[in-house]
Amino acid sequence: MSQLEDRLRETLTSDTSGAPSPDLFARVRDSIDGDRVRRRTRNRALALGAAVVAALAAAVLILTPYENGRPAMPWWFLELFTTGVLVAMALWLGPFIKRFGRAYAADVFHDNPLTGKSYIVLTDIVYYLIFAAYILFTVNFERAIDWNPTVDADQLKVETARIAGILLIIGVLHGVNIVLMPVLGRLFSLNRQLSGTRER
């Protein structure tokens, strides 16, 4: 009888009805509790977002003056509103991208888990630095020459371009990161393999 047949017989006839892991119940319970916490956190975030949107809408309706039945919103109000939208986007997009990027990073850096975690942290720092710099670069502290004292089409175009600009920047950088990450993961894996070969 060959060695392969011996191994097959041993595998098929071995007792696989062993006792379950002693911490199986604890792990299942922790998993259920974790899902409950994540669901609760998501619901709170949605409720908070809805409350913020409702508060902003109420502020617009209450604080916007009317002239001859038409709204005459001061220029600085739209400026503050756009800046608030940019800050809210930064606080929402960061965790959203990180949530779906962890599995991708774990797959890319499966040979270097610690490197993958460090990479995620570093990209988060870069992300928030880009958002903060963009907001500071584009904010207006005084009315532009071609703007009216109240919101007009020119200012609305500028504020819309601010939001579109950060979405374009983050989208391009995120796409580059998706393409570049597997290359970096492969390089780190090769470097680790070469280091292990030299040590031997």
Residues of the chain with pLDDT under 70: 1-28, 30-31, 69-71, 192-200
DSSP 177: H
What is the reported pLDDT for 46?
72
What is the reported pLDDT for 8?
61
What is the reported pLDDT for 190?
75
Give tens-digit pLDDT for 58-101. Answer: 777 777 777 776 667 788 888 988 898 888 888 888 888 877 77
First vs last C-alpha separation in the chain: 38
DSSP string, 117-163: HHHHHHHHHHHHHHHHHHHHHH--SS--TT--SB--HHHHHHHHHHH
Angle at which helices 153-199 and 75-108 pack, to 10 degrees? 20
Asked if 111 and 192 count as a contact pair (C-beta separation under 8 A), the reply is: yes
What is the reported pLDDT for 85?
86
The predicted model scores a pTM of 0.65
